[in-house]
Amino acid sequence: MVRPVAVLVGPPASGKSTVMRHLSRRLGVDGRDTDADVEAASGVTVAAIFADQGESAFRALERDAVAAALESHPGVLSLGGGAVLDPATRERLAAYAAEGGVVVFLDVSRLHAARRLRGDRSRPLLAGDAVARWDELMTARRPVYEEVATVRVRTDAAGPGHVVEEIVRHIERAHVSPRTEEDV
C-alpha cells in the first residue's frame, strides 16, 4: 500500500506549503498540496470555487482530493487548512496514523501568523480583517488539529530548515521497527 511519508496540517500562514517543499527536497520525495489538486481537477482557483460555488462545494472537492492523495501519494502531503474539519478526512487521517503515519500539526502563533498574512489577499476565508478571521478559525480548528496530529511542530521563529529537521526526527522514530531476538 502506498502512503505519504508525512502529512502536514495546520492553519493558514503556518508554513505548510513552504515546509512541504523543503521536507520533500530533504527526503528526496515528491511534495503534493491538496489545494493544488483541487485546482487541477476543477480547472479554477480555490478562490474562484469559493466565490462561484461556495465553501461547501470546495470542501467536497477537497475531501475527494485528500482521500485520493492519502491512498496514492508516496511523498509529503500538505492539506488545506480546513481539510481536517471533514469527519471522513479525520477518519482517514486516524487510520493513516494508526498504521504508523506521521501527521504533523504545524502550529504558529497569532503574532507570526499576522506577520505572514500582511498583504495576502489569496485566502478566501480570511477576507476582510485577516487576523480576526484567523483568530476565529484557530479557536474552532485548534482542537481538531491537535486531535489528528501525531506530532506538533512550532513554526514561529524557526526557519524551514529547523522545522524540517524536527519533522525528519519524528518520521525516523515512527519508522524504526522494534528489534526482534533475531536482530540481537
Pick the more confident residue, 7 or 119: 7
CATH H-level, domain 6-174: superfamily: P-loop containing nucleotide triphosphate hydrolases (3.40.50.300)
pLDDT computed for residue 167 by the predictor: 95
Long-range contacts of 18-22 (CB under 8 A, 24+ apart): 18/160, 19/78, 19/106, 19/155, 19/160, 19/163, 19/164, 19/167, 20/76, 20/77, 20/78, 22/160, 22/161, 22/163, 22/164
pLDDT at 118: 63
Q: Where are the domains of the chain?
A: 6-174
Mean per-residue pLDDT for 47-65?
A: 91
Q: What is the pLDDT of residues 91-136, one digit of tens each?
A: 999 999 999 999 999 998 877 777 766 655 554 445 556 677 777 8
> How much is the average pLDDT of 157-169?
89
Higher pLDDT, 117 or 17: 17
Q: At what angle do helices 46-53 and 55-72 cross, to 10 degrees?
A: 140
Structure-model confidence comparison of residues 157 and 54, the more confident one: 54
What value does the mean pLDDT of the chain take?
A: 86
